[in-house]
Amino acid sequence: MQPLSNIESLLYFIPELLLVIFAIAVILVDLGVKNRESATVAYLSLVGVGCVFAAVLITHAQLGDKTAVSLFLGMIRLDTFSTFFKILLLLATAATILFSLRSEELDARLKGEYYALLLAISLGMFLMASSTNLLMIFISLETVSLTSYILAGFLTHNPRSSEAAFKYITFGAVASGTMLFGLSFLFGMTGTGDLGQISTRLTELLAAGEVYSLAVLIAIIFVLAGVGYKIASVPFHMWSPDVYEGAPIPITAFLSVASKSAGFALFIRFFYSGFSSAEVMQSVDWTLMLAIVSALTMTVGNLAALPQQNVKRLLAYSSIAHGGYLLMGGVLLTSEGIGAILFYLVVYLFMNLGAFYVVVLIANEEGSEMVDGYRGLASRAPLVAGAMAIFLFSLTGIPPFAGFFGKWLLFAAVLEQGYYWLAFVGLLNSVVSLYYYARIVKAMYLEDSDEETTQSSFSTGTFALLSVFVIPTILIGFLNIFYTLSNISVSVIPMQ
Amino acid sequence: MLLSLMIFIPLLGMVAVLLLPRESEELVKRVTLLITLIPLALAVALFISYDRSAAGTQYVVNVPWISAFNIQYHVGIDGLSVTLLLLTALLGPICVIASWRNIEKGIKAYMALFLLLETGMLGFFASLDLFLFYVFFELTLLPMYFLIGVWGGPRREYAAIKFFLYTLFGSVLMLVAMIAVYLSSGAPGARTFDIPTLITLASTQGHALNNLDFQIWVFLGFFIGFAVKVPIFPFHTWLPDAHVEAPTAISVILAGILLKMGTYGLVRINMAMFPQGMDFFCNGTGTWGNSLALLGFINIVYGSFCALAQTDFKKLVAYSSIGHMGFVILGLAARNTEGVTGAILQMFNHGVISGMLFLLVGVLYDRAHHREINGFGGLGAKMPVYTGITTLAFMASLGLPGLSGFVGEALSLLGAYDKFKMLTILSTIGIVVGAAYFLWTLQRVFLGTLNPKYEALPEINGREILTLAPLAILTIVLGVWPNFAIDMFRESVTNLVNILQAI
């Protein structure tokens, strides 16, 4: 496939350009808005997300018969895989904007920057999902990281938020530095930044014995530091509980879903098209390492979640654990495994964002993020409690909710490759996770609130938004289309 | 179609109940009762129209569901499932009536969850696709957790989460085994979850499923999943807690149906699909050859002795359940016609009898607000009708000839004696102890001098008799005419025994 030139590429780059335009527009419009309480910029960014969504679909339709086009002289690639992630990321962005609108913890004076940064971070994630060149990979990763640091520290009056931003940036800097070092190794060995060529060159070099497989392994480990930091896998997960707890809830929700998805997009594209050839897999044994990282990630996440009293922090650890489950699908880079990751990411988007939305609602109402604040919720607000229970059970992986189907695919992919011990670790982790998810359910249903029970009043809009997350969480597993969609998206990534 | 209607009517009913206004409690109860009567009517219709002379599955519906993995919505009934479907559908309205007065808060949510539970149970017994089977199996977990956790006794939170964690632990092992079976069932693209197909493949020479090592491992995976449900020692400790805390009607369902899901699974999956694995654990030779029978024996004796030691009426019945499920395990381990027939009959009978026992405990608890056996005495004179029905249930449970409990246990022991002489003889200790604790309880509660506190205890009322009468009648009918039930599953048992002996 011949890469398109810079000018030709612009036609396929409209969604990204639109994101830039809207991010600037948000800042400009914000200058003109007198009333600080007004939600104009939020709606403007929502419109922006809507337009980008349309643009993504139209751009994808332009592909026609071709499965993919390579843009900007091979820097990024547009295919079903990247479109899949773009849609996923846009959904997460739209949800985050809506959460932010309803959340009461954000500073009204900083709205313009906030939404502009959200659109900017989406741009970075779009690029993460489509980069096929080492340089582009690093730039997109940094775009996302830098914006995340600011967003995590957005509660300027809250010291925890500043602490979160500071920890985030310290860890982030180390991780990106390490990754850059690894990328330079790869460039030095192969003389190219293009993932496809790296794969070909590595295969040749390894066959000819011209590079040490240990050097390749070290490069992989270094790169994993950067990717692992984005998906919060052990041992690069330390930042995430503090950041998730300190950041504004909508941002926490966004980071736990969108940032993780983009991280996995990068992970999959990088390893699947760069290192999955039989020769490389044979001489550089990194699957066992990934399997161990996956097992550790879910175990550490789940065990650390057990004693948490703060729901936001609990969900942060649970999100680490889910990163571990997702990694299981990537261990052997089979198309079933990758398909399972994509499917699980869709499910995870809905159930995790849904859970965070309930956290926003309760934080607004109770002013508390602690498990105790959920006591008696079932009698105060039965629908909200019911929705939360569905999200939590889906996160545990109990049928008939979508989380079960997602986990099922992941376990099947792992078992298919004979990694029995990993599947066992994963399943035992699911049982452990039930315990802490059920603690919230227990508080909502089995315990009574200390205060008099007054019916909480939530607006119709709240319920409508809640149902946007509940309905997919119930239905996705039963619909064929999502399985097909994730399989198609996998099939287009070039595999060597 | 009839079958699918039966499975999903409670689910639709749940939606209907949720839409009713919260204040109209009477309406909620009546609507729920009406809804649960429909599956009962359908179950009776199936029971009557079922072709008793055919061995295969009937009323089959098989449509693709998740085609990417060859998962089908495949339901159908054979003699075993139709019997248990009838039991489930029968206990449905009985439990609704039993919950009429003693559920104080949130009756709407209670009834809705109950209906969801019923869909899970009915679907489970009718599934012929392994994936569907698992989904229904797990579907019973959530409503049960809430029903115990919200409406249960003082330690309900502990009991509910313990029940949930134990069962989930069992079912994830089952999930691994299930995926392993799926992956070994054929080349990619040709894999299947279809239970009848898998059963055929597992007995096809040279197929990956027809391999002793493989069968032993997946047998164990499924076995632990089901053993937690049955419950088989040492996975039983959730049961006394769950029973003691659960409201009466939920205890009835727990003992009557949920425990049967475990043994049903053993028959449907472990025995039929993995006959070689089954042989490994039941052939009477080698280190493991006696293990299943041994577990049955432990259940019988351990459950009975534990029951003897209880002073809480409900806990006594709960432990007696563990003992009686031991007979099912022992009968299944025998792998012959008598043993399997006895085991299946015992499953049905135990559902009926333990249902009665838990209802009776509930009747007493509603009046006295405690269940301490030693706190009563002389109730026989005060409540003659109640005493009469309780005596009937006790006698049926301890295995008095002429009542249903006897037939199942006798056949199980008869079958087992053929294969495991020593264990069978020792198991009869359980029967003696069973007689001891029931008679002793009878004496402590109903005979002797009346505790003056209970001078004014009202007699059992019409509503309560209504819940007990159908079960009492079944106990007597099946006691004198067991073929009424055995005819239903005779062919299915023959079929199963053939599979087991073909290896």
**pLDDT tens sequence across A390-400:** 999 999 988 88
Task: Going residue by residue through chain B, which has 503 residues, state the pLDDT in tens, using 9 for 90 and above.
Answer: 788 888 999 999 999 888 888 778 888 888 989 999 999 999 999 888 888 887 778 888 888 888 878 888 999 988 888 899 999 999 999 999 888 888 878 888 888 899 999 999 999 999 999 999 999 998 898 899 889 988 888 888 888 889 988 998 998 889 989 999 998 888 887 888 988 888 888 888 888 888 888 889 999 999 999 999 888 988 888 998 898 888 889 999 999 899 999 999 999 999 888 988 888 888 878 788 888 899 999 999 999 999 999 888 899 999 999 999 999 999 999 888 889 999 999 999 999 999 999 999 988 888 888 888 888 878 888 888 888 999 999 999 988 888 888 888 889 999 888 888 888 899 888 889 989 999 998 888 888 888 777 777 888 888 888 889 999 999 999 888 888 888 888 888 888 888 888 77
Going by C-alpha positions, the residue among B305, B158, B307, B133 that lies closest to residue B222 is: B133
Q: Count of residues for chain A?
A: 496
Residue B62, classed as helix, strand or coil, is strand
Q: What are phi and psi of B86, to 5 degrees?
A: -60, -45
* Residue from the list A400, A416, A442 with its beta carbon closest to the beta carbon of B183: A416
Encode pLDDT of A77-87 as tens digits: 898 889 999 99
B488 vs B480: CA distance, rounded Å: 16
Contact A446 B149 (CB under 8 A): yes
* Residue from the list B68, B149, B176 with its beta carbon closest to the beta carbon of A427: B176
A237 vs A231: CA distance, rounded Å: 8
Name the residue of chain B whose CA is nearest to A405's CA.
Answer: B135
Name the residue of chain A whose CA is nearest to B172's CA.
Answer: A427
B491 vs B82: CA distance, rounded Å: 13
Task: Give B164's contacts in chain A (Cβ within 8 Å).
Answer: 434, 438
Residue B350, classed as helix, strand or coil, is helix
Distance from CA of A427 to the nearest CA of B (A): 6
Q: Are A155 and A161 in contact (CB under 8 A)?
A: yes
Q: Find all residues with CB under 8 Å of A177, minimum gap 6, and list them.
A: none
Return the amino acid letter for A42.
Answer: A
Residue B52, classed as helix, strand or coil, is coil
Distance from CA of A467 to the nearest CA of B (A): 16
B318: exposed, middle or buried (Cβ count in 10 Å: 0-12, 13-18, 19+): buried
Does the residue A386 lie in any domain? yes
A318 vs A329: CA distance, rounded Å: 18
Contact A399 B139 (CB under 8 A): yes
* Residue from the list A382, A423, A445 with its beta carbon closest to the beta carbon of B150: A445
Contact B172 A427 (CB under 8 A): yes
Contact A427 B160 (CB under 8 A): no
Does the residue A437 lie in any domain? yes
| Residue B101 half-sphere exposure toward CB, CA atoms < 13 A | 10
Chain A positions contacting chain B at CB under 8 Å are 382, 393, 398-400, 404, 408, 411-412, 415-416, 420, 423-424, 427-428, 430-431, 434-435, 438, 442, 445-447, 478, 480, 483-484, 487
Task: Give A428's contacts in chain B (Cβ within 8 Å).
Answer: 169, 172
Give the distance, in angstroms, between the CA of residue A441 and the centroid of all CA atoms in the same chain: 25
Contact A411 B175 (CB under 8 A): yes
Residue B312, classed as helix, strand or coil, is strand
Burial call A291-325: b when 16+ CB within 10 Å, e when fewer: bebbbbbbbbbbebbeebebbbbbbbbbbbbbbbb
Contact B176 A423 (CB under 8 A): yes
A203 vs A283: CA distance, rounded Å: 10
A331 vs A293: CA distance, rounded Å: 9
Contact A445 B138 (CB under 8 A): no
Residue A78, classed as helix, strand or coil, is strand
Name the more confident of A330 and A53. A53
* Residue from the list B156, B172, B180 with its beta carbon closest to the beta carbon of A430: B172
Mean pLDDT for chain A?
87
Name the residue of chain A whose CA is nearest to B221's CA.
Answer: A424
Q: pTM here?
A: 0.90
Question: Residue A478 is encoded by which pair of tokens?
Answer: 């039963």
A98 vs A101: CA distance, rounded Å: 5
How many structural domains does chain A have? 1
- ipTM of the complex as predicted: 0.86
Domain extent for A321: 286-496
Handedness of CA A367, A371, A373, A377 (dihedral sign): positive
Does the residue A213 lie in any domain? no
Candidates B19, B135, B220: best to mutate against A (most CBs of A within 10 A) is B135
Task: Give B182's contacts in chain A (Cβ within 8 Å).
Answer: 412
pLDDT score for A18: 94
CA dihedral A27, A249, A364, B18 (to 10 degrees): 120
Distance from CA of B195 to the nearest CA of A (A): 18
pLDDT score for A50: 94
A52 vs A125: CA distance, rounded Å: 13
Handedness of CA A244, A246, A247, A248 (dihedral sign): positive
Size of interface A-B (CB pairs under 8 A): 74
Contact B149 A442 (CB under 8 A): yes
* Residue from the list A400, A427, A447 with its beta carbon closest to the beta carbon of B135: A400
Q: Which of A143-152, A452-461, B169-178, B244-253 has the lowest mean pLDDT?
A: A452-461
Distance from CA of A58 to the nearest CA of B (A): 28
* Residue from the list B157, B165, B180 with its beta carbon closest to the beta carbon of A434: B165
Maximal CA-CA distance, chain B: 74
Distance from CA of B91 to the nearest CA of A (A): 24
Indicate whether A456 pLDDT > 80: no
Indicate whether A452 pLDDT > 70: no
Domain coordinates of chain B in residue numbers? Answer: 283-503
Q: Find all residues with CB under 8 Å of A108, minimum gap 6, and list them.
A: A36, A37
Going by C-alpha positions, the residue among B129, B300, B134 that lies closest to residue B225 is: B134
A204 vs A280: CA distance, rounded Å: 10
Q: Are B358 and B242 in contact (CB under 8 A)?
A: no
Task: List B194's β-bridge partners, or say none.
Answer: B129
Residue A79, classed as helix, strand or coil, is strand
Name the residue of chain B whose CA is nearest to A399's CA.
Answer: B135
Does the residue A347 lie in any domain? yes
Task: Give A427's contacts in chain B (Cβ within 8 Å).
Answer: 172-173, 175-176
Distance from CA of B141 to the nearest CA of A (A): 9
A236 vs A232: CA distance, rounded Å: 6
B222 vs B170: CA distance, rounded Å: 8
Q: Which of A301-305, A418-422, B319-323, B375-379 has the lowest mean pLDDT?
A: B375-379
B77 vs B60: CA distance, rounded Å: 7
Chain B positions contacting chain A at CB under 8 Å are 65-69, 109, 134-135, 138-139, 141-142, 145-146, 149-150, 156-157, 160-161, 164-165, 168-169, 172-173, 175-176, 179-180, 182-183
Distance from CA of A445 to the nearest CA of B (A): 7
CA dihedral A387, A390, A393, A397 (to 10 degrees): -140
Indicate whether A211 pLDDT > 90: no
pLDDT score for A496: 44
Task: Count the neighbouring beta carbons within 10 Å of the beta carbon of residue B36.
Answer: 25
Name the residue of chain B whose CA is nearest to A437's CA.
Answer: B161
A76 vs A69: CA distance, rounded Å: 9
Strands (E), B194-343: none
Contact A399 B179 (CB under 8 A): no
pLDDT score for B493: 87
Return the amino acid letter for B214.
Answer: F
Indicate whether A38 pLDDT > 80: no
Contact A398 B138 (CB under 8 A): yes
Candidates A448, A476, A480: best to mutate against B (most CBs of B within 10 A) is A480
Contact B66 A438 (CB under 8 A): no
Give the distance, in angstroms, between the CA of residue B123 and the centroid of all CA atoms in the same chain: 14
